[in-house]
Amino acid sequence: MNKNFLLWVTGVISLAALVISLSAQATKPVPRLPNGKPDFTGVWDHPRVGDISKDVSGKCAGETPGCKNTGAGELPFTPLGKAENEKKDKFDYGSRCLPWGYVRSYGTPYPHAYTSHPDRLVIMWEQDNAFHVVPTDGRPLPKNPDPSWRGTSVGHWEGDTLVIETVGFNGRTWLDTAEHPHSDQLKVTERMARTDYDHINYEVVMEDPKFYSKPMKNVRTFVLMKPGQELYEYSCSENNRCEGGHCTPSDVQK
Render pLDDT for 103-162 as a digit per residue (tens, 0 to 9): 999 999 999 999 999 999 999 999 999 999 999 999 999 999 999 999 999 999 999 999
Region of poorest pLDDT, from 71-75, 115-119, 246-250:
246-250
pTM of the model as a whole: 0.84
Per-residue pLDDT tens for 173-195? 999 999 999 999 999 999 999 99
Q: Closest by alpha carbon to 236, among 249, 226, 245?
A: 245
- Report yes or no on 102 lying in a domain: yes
Region of poorest pLDDT, from 14-18, 34-38, 144-148, 236-240:
14-18
Taking the C-alpha atoms of residue 132 and residue 245, their distance in angstroms, rounded to an integer, is 26
- Report yes or no on 112 lying in a domain: yes
- The pLDDT-based confidence of 204 (bands split at 50, 70, 90) is very high
Taking the C-alpha atoms of residue 68 and residue 226, their distance in angstroms, rounded to an integer, is 18
Contact present, 67 and 222 (Cβ < 8 Å): yes
- Report yes or no on 146 lying in a domain: yes
- Report yes or no on 26 lying in a domain: no
The pLDDT of residue 72 is above 80:
yes
| Mean pLDDT of the region 218-246 | 82
Share of the chain above pLDDT 90, in %: 78
- Report yes or no on 231 lying in a domain: no
Domain that holds residue 85: 42-226
- Report yes or no on 92 lying in a domain: yes
Q: Where are the alpha helices (DSSP H) in the chain?
A: 3-26, 79-85, 102-105
Contact present, 120 and 35 (Cβ < 8 Å): no
The pLDDT of residue 239 is above 70:
no
Contact present, 252 and 144 (Cβ < 8 Å): no
The pLDDT of residue 30 is above 90:
yes
Distances (CA, A) of 114 to 159, 242, 247: 19, 34, 35
pLDDT at 217 (0 to 100): 98
- Rounded mean pLDDT of the chain? 89
- Report yes or no on 238 lying in a domain: no
Residue 117's DSSP bridge partners are: 120
pLDDT at 252 (0 to 100): 47
- The pLDDT-based confidence of 11 (bands split at 50, 70, 90) is low
Taking the C-alpha atoms of residue 78 and residue 76, their distance in angstroms, rounded to an integer, is 7
| Mean pLDDT of the region 22-26 | 52
- The pLDDT-based confidence of 21 (bands split at 50, 70, 90) is very low
* Number of domains present in the structure of the chain: 1
- Report yes or no on 10 lying in a domain: no
Region of poorest pLDDT, from 22-36, 97-111, 194-208:
22-36
